[in-house]
Amino acid sequence: MIRWWVSALQLTELFVSTVVHLLYGFYIFSTALAGDLSQAMNEWFSKPNVHAVVKEEEETRETTSSLTTKTTTSVDDLPPIVLVHGIFGFGKGRLGGLSYFAGAEKKDERVLVPDLGSLTSIYDRARELFYYLKGGQVDYGEEHSMAYGHSQFGRIYEQGHYPEWDEDHPIHFVGHSAGAQVVRVLQQMLADKAFKGYENTSDKWVLSITSLSGAFNGTTRTYLDGMQPEDWRNMKPVCLLQFCRLGTIIYDWLDIPWLKAYYNFGFDHFNMSWKKMGIRGLIDCLLGNIGPFASGDWILPDLTIQGSMQLNCHLQTFPDTYYFSYATKRTKRIFGITVPSGIFGIHPLLFIRVLQMSQWRHPPDVFPPYKGYRDEDWQDNDGALNTISMTHPRIPVEHPSHFVGHDSECQPLQPGIWYYKIVEGDHILFVVNRERAGIQFDMIYDSIFERCRKYACRRKSRQTLPNEILQ
């Protein structure tokens, strides 16, 4: 009787959490869509004689010419700032032109917003990002693609978005959530000279990395959503992520062109469309014999604590790159218990997620992810990631870091150290919907872009170091 009661409870919990998560996803996109629509309306009404669809390139050119009159450097000399999205994210041109970064890309003359697939693994995203910038056909690497059962070659970028990219033309990266880890992996690949035909790559191709709620140490959210703490590459048989898996497989198999142009999970290199694998392949995929979810080459395993540790083992913090990180937190401690900090200014669905994560306990019968793991360390969170994971890379080894209470504390900014701030806010405060963050939105992005522009050229700045370049 008790046993029956328990499983009924578990089922109810599963049902409730599924509904909550679906609504949460829906919430993100609906607020974003609403924001986008109202923006489109504004543009429509404020510029009645301009064609409704203004090409972004034209816009950039306009600002370019107005800028060149003001300053002596032309926009083409500025290092691009590349905004890298996280899980379920998307780049420029998806979802009807919606902006994942809530329009922050308009704050600077030279910003790129690549589209790296919303559920693909961190490794695959990093490979993709390289070719997006350099141009050419994405090469996932022979060894990796054999190991994970996907094609070695992927999408073709006819034209790179920054083909001159090299040590003398380095780039600033800003990553949100998993995007921050993607950039670290890419920098390591550059240092390891991991791109065939590009033997000259080095860590110095990256001028700075700024992380917004970056996923460095993994998140307990993955276990709450269904990854197994004891077997982190696999999901529980019944869980929220299973719905996500089924949905993705069917979406990719149906392969409806306009739908995929609108939104893409990024698994094209797994050949999951009906044309390529037929009914049999679909069944094999659904049964978990083939595909990204079977081999573990997708984003969720990379976001578990164990998966992050495995990635971090190979990732360095480099001495010539500037690192900055904004960790978000929506919890506080009262009488030794971690609880969400207030119910105002947070969406009820996010509130539930924050609460869930603050109550997470590692199952006592399962080996902890690392020696010295404590639940208390992982209770502060922003609804998607644990705050401890976002400040700087910590496991298995801690990287140099410096907590910034006030901006004046990091003068002058040194390369090779992770400067971090802790910001009161939830995980999606700085993406999708600009209105939610209010004035904080502009403050954060303005300071990021300003910092990037101050460190525009490493070579020149080297000569003027140490005291001239301040933030």
Ligand X SMILES: *[C@@H]1O[C@H](CO)[C@@H](O)[C@H](O)[C@H]1NC(C)=O
d(CA 390, CA 215): 6
Q: What is the DSSP string of 162-216?
A: STT-BTTB-EEEEEETHHHHHHHHHHHHHHTT-STT-TT--GGGEEEEEEES--S
Q: Which of residues 65, 137, 151, 411 is near ligand X by CB under 6 A?
A: 151
Beta-ladder partners of 328:
423
**Shortest CB 396 distance to ligand X, Å:** 6
Q: What backbone phi and psi angles, to 5 degrees, belong to 250?
A: -65, -40
217 binds ligand X (CB under 6 A): yes
Question: Between residues 237 and 372, which has the closer beta carbon with respect to ligand X?
Answer: 372
Q: Which residue lies nearer to ligand X by CB, 271 or 414? A: 271
295 in contact with ligand X (CB under 6 A): no
Nearer to ligand X by Cβ, of 88 and 418: the residue is 418
Residue 73 or 200 having the CB closest to ligand X: 200
Q: Two tokens at 246?
A: 């089924």
Residue 289 binding ligand X, by CB under 6 A:
no
The least CB distance from residue 233 to ligand X, in Å, is 20
* 197 binds ligand X, rule: CB under 6 A: no
**150 lies in the binding site for ligand X (CB under 6 A):** yes
Give me the least distance between CB of 150 and ligand X, in Å please: 5
CB of 349 to ligand X, least distance (A): 25
Bridge partners of residue 420, in order along the sequence: 325, 403
**Three-state SS at 34:** helix
**CB atoms < 10 A from the CB of 336, how many?**
6
Q: How far is the CB of 360 from ligand X (least distance, A)?
A: 12
Q: Does 466 bind ligand X (CB under 6 A)?
A: no
Ranked by CB distance to ligand X, the top (closest) residue is 394
Q: Measured from the CB of residue 15, what is the shortest distance to ligand X in angstroms?
A: 31
The answer to whether 271 contacts ligand X (rule: CB under 6 A) is yes
Nearer to ligand X, 200 or 289 (CB): 200
SS3 call for 460: helix
Closest CA to 181 of 86, 264, 111, 91: 86
Judged by beta carbon, residue 56 or residue 398, the one nearer ligand X is 398
What is the 3-class SS of 254-309, one letter each residue?
HCCHHHHHHCCCCCHHHCCCHHHHHHHHHHHHHCCCCCHHHHCCEHHHHHCHHHHH
Separation of alpha carbons 173 and 190, rounded Å: 14
Task: Report the residue number, 236 or 362, with the smaller CB distance to ligand X.
Answer: 362
Q: Please, which residue, 347 or 458, has the CB nearer to ligand X?
A: 458
Residues paired with residue 206 on neighbouring β-strands, in sequence order: 171
The count of residues interacting with ligand X (CB under 6 A) is 14
User: How many beta carbons lie within 10 A of that of residue 139, not counting itself?
Assistant: 18
Give the separation between CA 302 and CA 12, rounded to whole angstroms: 28
Identified binder of ligand X from the candidate list 276, 314, 459, 460, rule CB under 6 A: 276
What part of residues 353-412 is at the interface with ligand X (CB under 6 A)?
372, 377-378, 388, 394-396, 398
CB of 193 to ligand X, least distance (A): 11
Q: Which amino acid is at 245?
A: R
Measured from the CB atom, the residue of 6 and 146 that comes closer to ligand X is 146
Percent helix, percent strand, percent coil in the chain, to nearest 5: 45, 15, 40
Taking the C-alpha atoms of residue 258 and residue 244, their distance in angstroms, rounded to an integer, is 21
Residues that bind ligand X in the complex, under the rule CB under 6 A: 150-151, 200, 217, 271, 276, 372, 377-378, 388, 394-396, 398
